[in-house]
Chain A
């Protein structure tokens, strides 16, 4: 029989610490597939965040660096500017990118840093026990919004893709979801495009936002978590390509 689906080379055959049904595993796989399909493994350097994916270097078989919370785009800047031939990507959660790291991501995009950013939006802080994230939706119950997120005292969910798409230095911004096979196929295309742009010298930052399930801190089953993305998250975070500009330096 012929194998039609196997683990790709850059995804290490190593058990992950992620919860059952966590979206990180899917996202990691899409990244590994993109890297292998584009043949860029040996010149790719990845940045692991502070968050559940801090140990991403145990799962992705490329050179990787672990950095302080939120600082990945600055670290990526330092790496890409001094090594323009390498493919630099950061992998960040909603605390890392949308809370503590807002300055860094905006300025990396604003400076048109030629890097790829994969942004995992699961509407909650997973690693630390399910607190509110900037992307937590109104009414969502979390460890620090036990009555449900209230706009008046806790503000509104942050739409990172929309924020970044207005910056001329961002050349590609797309929001996808990991909530069904069809969605994952679209996400795969987006992730691959984001890497391909860097590999072909696109003059700016590519970001793919992935709506991802967190069954543990949404206090639900993996299947229901996927449904919640479809029915609730996509209302607040509409899917689609917000920007795709071909621009060479």
Chain B
């Protein structure tokens, strides 16, 4: 269907997952994403797919692990504290090279925090919150439509690269209602899952594992994973930018923060300030090249996040000291306003260029 429907982010991403061919959803209730599990509990059986409300997030990610090991498209969703519980499972998924989709509707933290929106899990998502040298692909959509578009992309990326794809939404995106188009997308060409556990009929046994005790074997596996991650970095970066050509101030933000930044930058332009923005959509692989190129011109970067500053570190790494990088953020459920960001932009003085 190509009609536009008005729907909240949580339900939209659930329906989009079903359209994308999600075979199984396993989850545990946690605010602010309970609409996802409720929606899935109704729709998945309607489509004769699998739905289980698990006893914990720990169990949910392991149910995903099981379904994924048999070659199915499996997903779970949670919010920050629940995602913390899933880190062990995500590390195992990475070590066993299983495809999976995990949605994190971020809320205020640390600890039990609150149920307000936040972007405080960027480190957890991009640095790999579990143990070991691994990466997950991380997507940071900024609208309900983009959240919807992320779902088929996530399943395809997961299957293509045998990785976990983490979608970082937040309490606002999950709850807000926007008109979206929900339609089936063409799948990429994907490799066959001949590694999957389907019963050893007509072939020798398949083993899905992440333990490799013999000397040197795990080291080699790690190099293999790194090579795979380099492929992802080469091929899958998605990043948007706006009004950069003459920008003297570049604001970098993702997700809902980027929506607010867009408003601030538009107002800044109306005031004659030459501002632009860069919006990473893939947070891993990070658009380091685009940001680095943008830093080749002399300008000041302002990173805006709903946290105490996490993505700002990646921006600084990409900029590599070429230009100043400033930060503005509000953690713990605080949401910056257009005015606050505009104010910061106004305060930024740009030295006279030669």
Chain A contacts to B: CB under 8 angstroms: 41-45, 47-48, 54-55, 57, 61-68, 71, 74-79, 81-83, 86, 103-104, 106-107, 111
Q: Give the docked Cα–Cα distance between A63 and B203 (Å).
A: 10
A66 pairs with B208, CB closer than 8 A: yes
Cβ of B326 within 8 Å of any chain A Cβ, yes or no, is: no
Q: Which residues from chain B sit less than 8 Å from chain A, CB to CB?
A: 23-24, 26, 50, 52, 54-56, 58-60, 62-70, 72, 74, 88-89, 92, 96, 197-202, 205-211
A68 near B55 with CB under 8 A, answer: no
Given A65-B69, A78-B69, 13 new contacts (CB under 8 A): A47-B66, A48-B209, A63-B205, A63-B206, A68-B88, A75-B63, A78-B26, A78-B52, A78-B68, A79-B66, A82-B66, A82-B70, A83-B70
The answer on a CB contact under 8 Å between B205 and A103 is no
Partner of B200, one of A63, A66, A67, A77: A63
Complex: how many Å from CA A83 to CA B55?
Answer: 21
**A42-B200, A104-B62 known; A66 vs B209 contact (CB < 8 Å):** yes
User: Closest residue to A48 on the B side, CB-wise?
Assistant: B209
Chain A neighbourhood of B96, CB < 8 A: 65-66
- Give Cα distance in the complex from A61 to B54, angstroms: 30
Summed over the interface, the residue pairs from A and B with CB atoms below 8 Å come to a total of 131
Contacts of A44 in B (CB 8 A): 199
Also in contact, A71 and B70, with CB within 8 A (given A43-B199, A61-B200, A63-B200): no
> Shortest Cβ distance from A114 into chain B, in angstroms?
13
CA gap between A78 and B210 in the complex, in Å: 18
The docked-state distance in angstroms from the alpha carbon of A61 to that of B199 is 11
Tell me which residues across on chain A come within 8 A of B63, comparing CB atoms.
74-75, 77-78, 81
A107–B55 CB distance below 8 A: yes
Does B207 lie within 8 Å of A42, measured CB to CB?
Answer: no
Q: Which residue of B lies closest to A87 (CB)?
A: B199
- Asked whether A107 lies within 8 Å of B54 as measured between CB atoms, the reply is yes
Q: Contact check, A64 vs B205: say whether CB atoms are below 8 A apart.
A: yes
Verify B54–A81 contact, CB threshold 8 A.
no
13 contacts between A and B (CB under 8 A): A45-B70, A61-B205, A62-B200, A64-B208, A75-B62, A75-B69, A78-B66, A78-B74, A79-B66, A79-B67, A81-B24, A82-B74, A103-B58
